[in-house]
Amino acid sequence: MTTIRNMMAVSVAAMLGLAGSVSAQSFPDKPITMIVPFAAGTSTDTVSRLIAERMSEDLGQTVVVENRAGAGGSVGTQDVVSSDADGYTIAMGTVGTLAINKSIFPELPYDPESDVTPIAFVGYTPTLLVVSAESSFQTLNDLVEAARSEDGVTFASTGNGTSTHLAGELLKTLSDTNMIHVPFGSGAVGLAAVMSGEVDFMFNHPVSAKQNVDAGKLRALGVSGAAGSEVAPEVPPINDSYEGFDLIAWWLMHGPADMPADVTEKLNMAVTNALASDAVSEHFVKSGISKGEIPFAELEGFISSEVNKWGDIANAANAQAN
């Protein structure tokens, strides 16, 4: 294992050396590859493809989207991090690949704080805490009260160490109650289990949950972001009752470390223009994604603060699990 890691380190070093300083005057003079570290059809993939299309128009070169899924996005991200830092290989990063994975995968081969050049913040979405419409929990308080019993309440997630799991763990920690984690391989199956009442609650992406809320199959008791959700403005933020419950899922375009500043700037402009386009705006509204207003200079600090925030939650959860 050590040999593999050493080999990786050597190859990363070699590639960084090769990258050197590439003239950015003519950038881009060939197609750009955007690695999406998740499967086709996922929300990250959808967002990436829409943005890649606008970026291609803007840059005059095709931005090719390539899906390279695996290990919660770590496989594809590692490929980008270890490629030439010339701007021709970039990635769509997420709260998972750039923050959570660091505390979840002990053998993560890259460090989101030092192996990455942030290009632009793309957008974010809070998640909804939903229960079945037939459930007796009418408010967040009902749920928390029930969780004080010995049997507690159960919550579904998309797997150990995912944002949906950690959100539940944070609520458990902040309310100091008994909330039992029930991992599901896919969020869709987990949502079905909540609908049927098999599991008590779940944190879910607002769009897939919202339709079922409107149809009277689910009830939303809270929203994870401090500012609420544009999709469901009537749902109260959990942060109002439990301060510190400010969790959002976000997307951030990035490349390998040490990208030339002028190349990064060009790419940043292209993403910014793409975000301003009608096609992307429309999709964001429909999907409940908000545009982020994080200035370029603050991106690195943002990644660090998110790494720490999720790391704390993960540590607290692990401490309780053992």
Partner 1 sequence: MDLFSNIALGFQTAFTAEALFYCFLGCCIGTFVGALPGIGPMVTISVALPLTFGLDPTVALIMLAGIFYGAQYGGSISSILLNLPGTASTAVTALDGYPLAQSGRAGFALFINAIASFCGSTLSIIVVMAFAPAIAEIALRFNSTEYFAVMVLGLVAACTIGGGSPLKSLVMVVFGLILGIVGMDINSGAMRYTFGFLELTDGISLISVAMGLFGVAEIVRKMAGPSTHASKTMIQDLSLASMLPNREDLSRLWLPILRGTSIGSMIGALPGAGPTVASFMAYAAEKKASRDPGRFGKGAPEGVAAPEAANNAAVQAAFIPTLSLGIPGDVVMAILLGAMIMHGVIPGPQFIANEPAMFWGLLVSFWIGNLILLFLNLPLIGLLVRIITVPSRILHPVVIFFICLGSYSVSNNIFDVFVTLVFGVLGYVLVRRGFHPAPVLLGFILGPMMEENLRRSLVIARGDPSVFLERPASAVMLGLAFLLIVMPLRKPALRFLSRVRR
> Which residue, 156 or 238, has its beta carbon nearer to partner 1?
156
39 binds partner 1 (CB under 8 A): yes
46 binds partner 1 (CB under 8 A): yes
Q: Considering only the stretches 37-45, 91-99, 251-259, 303-311, report the one whose residues sit in contact with partner 1 under the rule CB under 8 A.
A: 37-45
Does residue 174 sit in helix, strand or coil? helix
- The CB-of-227 to partner 1 minimum distance in angstroms stands at 23
CA–CA dist 253, 119 (Å, integer): 5
Which residues in 69-92 are b (16+ Cβ under 10 Å) and which e? bebbbbebbbbbbbbbbbbbbbbb
Rg (CA), the chain: 20
Within the chain, how many helices (H) and strands (E) appear?
12, 10
Is the link from the previous residue into 28 a cis peptide, with omega within 30 of 0?
Answer: yes
Q: Are 235 and 128 in contact (CB under 8 A)?
A: yes
304 binds partner 1 (CB under 8 A): no
- Residue of the chain from 104, 238, 267, 307 that contacts partner 1 (CB under 8 A): 104
311 binds partner 1 (CB under 8 A): no
206 binds partner 1 (CB under 8 A): no
- The CB-of-273 to partner 1 minimum distance in angstroms stands at 19
Does residue 9 sit in helix, strand or coil? helix
CA–CA dist 206, 201 (Å, integer): 14
191 binds partner 1 (CB under 8 A): yes
Q: Are 221 and 131 in contact (CB under 8 A)?
A: yes
195 binds partner 1 (CB under 8 A): yes
Contact map string, positions 5 to 24, toward partner 1, x by CB under 8 A: x-------------------
- Residue of the chain from 14, 189, 261, 276 that contacts partner 1 (CB under 8 A): 189
How many residues make contact with partner 1 (CB under 8 A)? Answer: 60
141 binds partner 1 (CB under 8 A): no
> Which residue, 15 or 180, has its beta carbon nearer to partner 1?
180
CA–CA dist 44, 69 (Å, integer): 11
- Residue of the chain from 32, 63, 65, 128 that contacts partner 1 (CB under 8 A): 65
> Which residue, 78 or 264, has its beta carbon nearer to partner 1?
78
| Contacts of 90 by beta carbon, 8 Å cutoff, 6+ apart | 32, 33, 34, 35, 80, 119, 253, 254, 255, 267
Q: DSSP letter at 100?
A: I
- Residue of the chain from 22, 68, 242, 246 that contacts partner 1 (CB under 8 A): 68
Q: Are 89 and 245 in contact (CB under 8 A)?
A: no
- The CB-of-66 to partner 1 minimum distance in angstroms stands at 6
278 binds partner 1 (CB under 8 A): no
Residue type, 151: D
Chain residues that interact with partner 1, rule: CB under 8 A: 1, 4-5, 39-43, 45-46, 49, 53, 65-72, 74-75, 78, 104-105, 107, 109, 151, 154, 159-161, 180-186, 188-189, 191-193, 195-196, 198-199, 207-208, 211-212, 214-215, 217, 282-283, 286-287, 321
